[in-house]
Structures are given as C-alpha cells and as structure tokens.
Structure 1
Amino acid sequence: MPKDIKVMVVEDQPILAMELELMLTDYDCEVVGLAMDQSSALMLAGRHEPDLAFVDVNLLDGLTGPQVAHELVEHHGVAVVFMTANPEQIPEGFAGALGVVCKPFDESTLRDVVDFACRFRLSGDISCPPRRLKLAPWLRTPPSSIAPH
C-alpha cells in the first residue's frame, strides 16, 4: 500500500496525539498537523488538504468530533476514521466517516487502518477491513453504489 498519504490527527489528549503522530510518521505517512478542537481541525484541513484524518469524538470544545468529521468529508474529501473510547457517542450515520477504532489501539491496528483507507480512496474497495475497525453503516450498501473520493 502507498504510504505517501497526508494525515491529520484530531485529538485533545496531547500525549496520545503525539504518539499517533510518531506511529504514523514511522509508517511513512506525512502528518500535516495535530488539532485539539473543531476550529483548529478545520483550519488545518483548509491549509493542508489531508487525505486521511483520525478524529476523536470528544475534543477540547466538547462533543465536536462528529461535526469535524462531517466537515472534513463533505467539504474537503477527507477519509475519516474515529478513534475513541466512547463509540456510543458517534452519530448513527457516522457523519460520513469510514468507521471507528476503539481506544486503546496498537501500531499494527493503525497501520492496517491506514492501508484500508488508502485502498478505499484509490478504488472504493471495502473488502477485508481491519479486524479492529468497525465499518460505518453507509459502507454496507452494495459495492456498485460506493464511489471513491
């Protein structure tokens, strides 16, 4: 899988955000920035046009992760994956996100999710999702109706 992918991390726990950044850069991803709230995330997205974003549900400004995900998908064409300890707070339609990975996670899971997101962006392929990635309900529609971004 290609690793030359621009990724942003939206996480309000600085140590976890830096750990994610390190794991992603070790996997040859270009981390374009870290954001801790909605406005920072949207500013980063506008400035750097990432391909993929890992978004927590609860941020410094509250339960804004789903709104961030929706904006990233709808206005920037970003593939979004929620990473949260509170999956029950994700809206029913997943706000356009590909899925969710529950915290805690490991480096292997992160790499598998990056590979899955790259494959999805290139071809719309949703076969063989990572074991720890819960796919969004909208991805369970017939494959012919899913278009890559």
Structure 2
Amino acid sequence: MTENIITETDEITMPDTEAPEPAESRADGEPEAATDEPAGDDDTFSREYVEKLRQENGKYRQRAQKADDLAHRLHRALVAADGRLQDPSDLDFDDNHLDGNHLTEAIGDLLQRKPHLAARRISGDIGQGAVSTPAEVNLMGLLGGHQ
C-alpha cells in the first residue's frame, strides 16, 4: 500500500486557475451598458445593481428593526397592564406573548417560580399620611388634666 506523504522537500503545486474573461461587447465593439439585470452566466453583477440591492436591503433592515422595537415596547406595556409584576422588564420578551393567553400563562409561570417578583401593594394603616383627628383640640385633655 502506497501512502502520499508531503515532506519539506516536496514542491506543492496548485492547479492553474483560469483568468476572468473580458466583459462582453456588442457587435460594433462598444461594451454593453449596465442594466438592472444580472450580467449573464458568469454570476457577476454591475456595481449599480449591487448598490441598488444593498439600499433596498438596508430599508428592509430598518423596517424590521423598527418593528422589533415596537414589539418590545408592546410586550412591556402588556406586562405592565397586567399588573402582577413589580417590574415589567422581569419577563423576557417572546413573540408568543403578544397574542392570546400566552402572556397570562407566562406571567403566572414566572410568579410561581419566583414569587419575589410579584407586585407589592401596601394596604391598611401604616402610620403615615392623613389621620383623622377630633374636630376640637383640648390641650388640657392631652396633658391629662380636666377641662
């Protein structure tokens, strides 16, 4: 059995590559004008065509980015409107949350796993704020004396 092993003394040769063919020309010797169509079977495109495609692609990327930003804002607003989470950013964005009951289920699952993320509401008398006082203040009554 013969093995092909390349040693340092062996010369490595690369196969010859064909040089690119010159641009096609019309019968009268003038080169063809650039069009919006691909330039034939050699898979090369004119510079104007490629720039046009890049600009069009850029517009689509900007639209997609704007739609993505709006979807994130909508998700945050829907979570805040639900009111069960202290911070709406605690629930990660998911496209499925934007339709149907998936959002309600996702918030319920999150609160079941991490109950400390639930919104806290203070209720009852906590010793602050407006308190009811008698209509007439009697200093002697307050000092323990009689009226």
Q: TM-score, structure 1 length as denominator?
A: 0.21
Which of structures 1 and 2 has the larger relative contact order (alpha carbons within 8 angstroms, sep 6+)?
A: 1
Kindly indicate which of the two structures has a greater share of residues assigned to strand: 1
Larger radius of gyration: 2
